[in-house]
Amino acid sequence: MDLGTIVAMGAGAAGAVVAAPLVVSALGFTAGGIAAGSIASSVMSAAAVANGGGVVAGGAVAVLQSVGAAGLSVAGQAVVAATGAAVAGAVECLTSSCG
């Protein structure tokens, strides 16, 4: 692994941890609840219809609302950082001559 890939992975990890709460909030999962007319409200509606009127505890909607309300947990930050690093490393590798 070359230095460029390592730097890209570090930037991807840090960028993903910073961006994740901003993206979740922009989708409409906010500290005050799900924003009316947002993508989050559409997703919640679809999830409720699919599950007979309720949103599943621990499901995607519940997790995203939790992130919107309270931010990422330490475990969540680790998952997002690892994902960001993997994606950035793969993109850097694909656009250079590695592998």
Mean pLDDT of 54-65: 91
pLDDT over threshold 90, residue 2: no
* Amino acid 94: pLDDT: 86
* Amino acid 93: pLDDT: 84
pLDDT over threshold 80, residue 20: yes
Q: How far apart are CA 56 and CA 59, in angstroms?
A: 5
pLDDT over threshold 70, residue 99: no
Residue type, 92: E
Please state the domain extents for the chain.
Answer: 74-98
20-35 CB burial, b ≥16 within 10 A, e <16? bbeebbebbbbeeebb
Q: Which residues pair with 30 in a beta bridge?
A: 33
| DSSP-derived secondary structure for 5-65 | HHHHHHHHHHHHHHHHHHHHHHHTEETTEEPTTSHHHHHHHHHHHHTTTSPPTTSHHHHHH
The pTM assigned to this predicted structure is 0.79
